[in-house]
Amino acid sequence: MNKLYEKAKNVLPNSYSKYSNFKVAAALKLKSGEVITGVNVENASFGLSNCAERSALFTAYSKGIRKDDISEILITTEQDGFISPCGACRQVMSELMPADALVHLANNKGEIKTLKNRDLLPYAFTEDDL
């Protein structure tokens, strides 16, 4: 998990968060050991912004990686406290990551809380609901 934390911290400066000044980075670990990172990218039209979690997942999917290839994700900020994925990210994570994938929430001190993806969004809207 230290490798994931370091990868996320290393890309945190790449965050484009000039409106909120709230930098977020994510490191997505694949079962192969490969790590894909993402950062939040804001836009003056706030609805067009993208979170770090989705940036990492969309990059992975663009490379042909799929749900069964993913083992865990770590999310960090410059904050002292722990942050959790927003509702949109939780919905995307529920579909694009395995339910039992580990989700690590890290603060700027390197402290980490871990839970399972399924615990982020109970009663998620899924393809089975369509």
- List the strands of the sheet with 35-39, edge to edge: 35-39, 24-30, 70-77, 102-106, 112-116
The reported pLDDT for the residue numbered 112 is 97
Residue 93 is part of a domain; what is its CATH number?
3.40.140.10
Q: pLDDT value at position 102? A: 98
For residue 1, the model assigns a pLDDT of: 74
Q: What pLDDT was estimated at residue 29? A: 98
Taking alpha carbons only, the member of 101, 57, 105 closest to residue 81 is: 105
Domains in the chain, number = 1
71: left (phi over 0), alpha (psi -120 to 50) or beta: alpha
pLDDT for the residue numbered 77: 97
* Residues with active-site annotation: 53
Residue in the structure block whose two tokens are 């899924």: 126
Query: Would you call 87 helix, strand, or coil by DSSP?
Result: helix
Q: Which residues of the chain have pLDDT under 70?
A: none
- Report the C-alpha gap between 78 and 99 in whole angstroms: 27
Name which of 30, 21, 50, 22 is nearest 38 in CA terms: 50
Nearest to 52 by CA among 98, 101, 106: 106
Pick from 4, 3, 2: nearest CA to 75: 4
Q: What is the pLDDT of residue 63?
A: 98
Full domain range(s) for residue 33: 2-129
Q: Which helix (H) or strand (E) holds 77?
A: strand 70-77
Q: 87 near 14, Cβ under 8 Å?
A: no
